[in-house]
Amino acid sequence: MTDNQAGWKMDNSYSRLPKIFYSLQKPTTVKAPEVVIFNETLAEELGLDSEALQSDDGAAIFGGNEIPEGGNPLAQAYAGHQFGHFTMLGDGRAVLLGEQITPDGQRFDIQLKGSGRTPYSRGGDGRAGLGPMLREFIISEAMVGLGIPTTRSLAVATTGEEIIRETMQTGAVLTRVAASHLRVGTFQFAANWGDTEDLRALADYAINRHYPELEKEENRYLAFLKNVIRRQAALIAKWQHVGFIHGVMNTDNMTISGETIDYGPCAFMDTYDPATVFSSIDRDGRYAYGNQPYIGGWNLSRFAEALLPLLHKEEDEAVKLAEEALSEFPEIFESEFLSGMRLKLGLFNEEKEDKALIADLLNLMNQHKADYTNTFKALTFGKLNESEMFKTEEFTQWHEKWQGRLGRQEQSKEDVQDLMSDNNPAVIPRNHRVEEAIEAANNGDLNVMVKLLEIMANPYEHSPDQEEFCKPAPPSARPYRTFCGT
């Protein structure tokens, strides 16, 4: 198989940045790479040949033994605040092969995750286990179905080798696809270990790649900051709408493109509770569901700090500009959040009291430990016998207010139900289902995972096939904990 046959059209524009930002690094070769799951839909979008890439030659690329022509593998340098503590990081178990240029001229990073040690490994082995890589594949593709910006998964290949964690695990490499892997932490690295010209080169690169419309702005770096703020506010609001908990919102896991990245200790809420935490390492609840908007603002403040030398030559004025931009985040987030929640409740227009109506419902759900996804599904289709909450006087009073609110808009009941069904997923990748799929795959059966992926591809379909996947976890599966998989 030649690269032309497979459809690879690679470049690595990141390697043309100042050398402080990366270390050239080839993946570590593996014993016997084998593709275990492949994303044909994504491959087609990238202009790749699915059949060719599901061969031994494709496995050699996805395992790291071969590099597509035009690729220039490197490990990216970045820093980050991890649970509030600043440190030097970098790709400790990943290499960026380069960017695939699609038939319509777009660029997408192709990164191998679990591809061996790099100069940034900090004592780790640079490897990954099959379970965590399949988890990222499942959740990232579920996010696509839910309409949430995300990095994606092209393939998972086993390596023919085992890795040592708490137990021996099957080694695996994930091929991750992203608009880019530029992070808030990349800019923190530039601000702390580079000079102003390094920082400028990185900012110019990010603007050219993700915000080319800003090139002619009078203060394009300020416009850049504001646009990243806007994208992140919109992204986090979408997480809240579906009950997604990232679990590790460190600054190195916040992208400049506005995509969700890093599916380590993430999970979706069953029972609604703003204090929900799944990550085994988040002992203080820093990244709990209800804290995600606040942490988003905190992370963006760190981004603004890194950009200060570019915002204005006078530091006081730069700080003032940054503070003014950051002050907009809460308002943008609330607007995005309320807009999405209105859609979930079938509201086509805006009224001042909508915020209270939404808050009252969420408070009821929290008080009665209602299932987040299934509550909105029940409201969509009028099936108000599926939860104890619906039998309470407080809910009856809320329901009357909601019906009155619906009655003050022009749209029909059918229009309302259509809007709600388009914005309330029937299914999310429930934690017990994800674990079930991973366990089966670890035992050599990928059918469970394939079925889950099929169900999650169209979460707003509300089909009979999805009913079994709507059920919350049994009591034996709680409390649920996730691990970072490193």
pLDDT tens, the chain, 486 aa long: 556 679 999 999 999 999 999 999 999 999 999 999 999 999 999 999 999 999 999 999 999 999 999 999 999 999 999 999 999 999 999 999 999 999 999 999 999 999 999 999 988 899 999 999 999 999 999 999 999 999 999 999 999 999 988 889 999 999 999 999 999 999 999 999 999 999 999 999 999 999 999 999 999 999 999 999 999 999 999 999 999 999 999 999 999 999 999 998 999 999 999 999 987 788 888 999 999 999 999 999 999 999 999 999 999 999 999 999 999 999 999 999 999 999 999 999 999 999 999 999 999 999 999 999 999 999 999 999 878 999 999 999 999 999 999 999 999 999 999 999 999 999 999 999 999 999 999 999 999 999 999 999 999 999 999 999 999 988 766 666 666 554
**pTM for this predicted structure:** 0.96
The two three-digit tokens of residue 263, written as one number: 């599916």
User: How far lies 42's CA from each of 144, 298, 434, 440, in Å?
Assistant: 11, 33, 21, 24
The span from the CA of 25 to the CA of 70, in Å, is 15
3-class SS shares of the chain: helix, strand, coil, % to 5 = 50, 15, 35
The span from the CA of 330 to the CA of 326, in Å, is 8
Q: Which amino acid is at 344?
A: K
Which residue in 3, 91, 198, 252 is the catalytic one? 252
- C-alpha atoms less than 13 angstroms from C-alpha of 361 in its C-beta half-sphere: 19
6 torsion bin: left (phi>0), alpha (psi -120 to 50), beta (else): alpha
User: How far lies 43's CA from each of 48, 51, 73, 153, 165, in Å?
Assistant: 5, 10, 20, 10, 32
User: For this structure, is 56 an active site residue?
Assistant: no
The two three-digit tokens of residue 452, written as one number: 């889950």
Q: Are strands 34-38 and 22-24 parallel, antiparallel or unpaired?
A: unpaired
The span from the CA of 159 to the CA of 149, in Å, is 29
The span from the CA of 466 to the CA of 141, in Å, is 17
Please tell me whether residue 207 adopts helix, strand or coil conformation.
helix
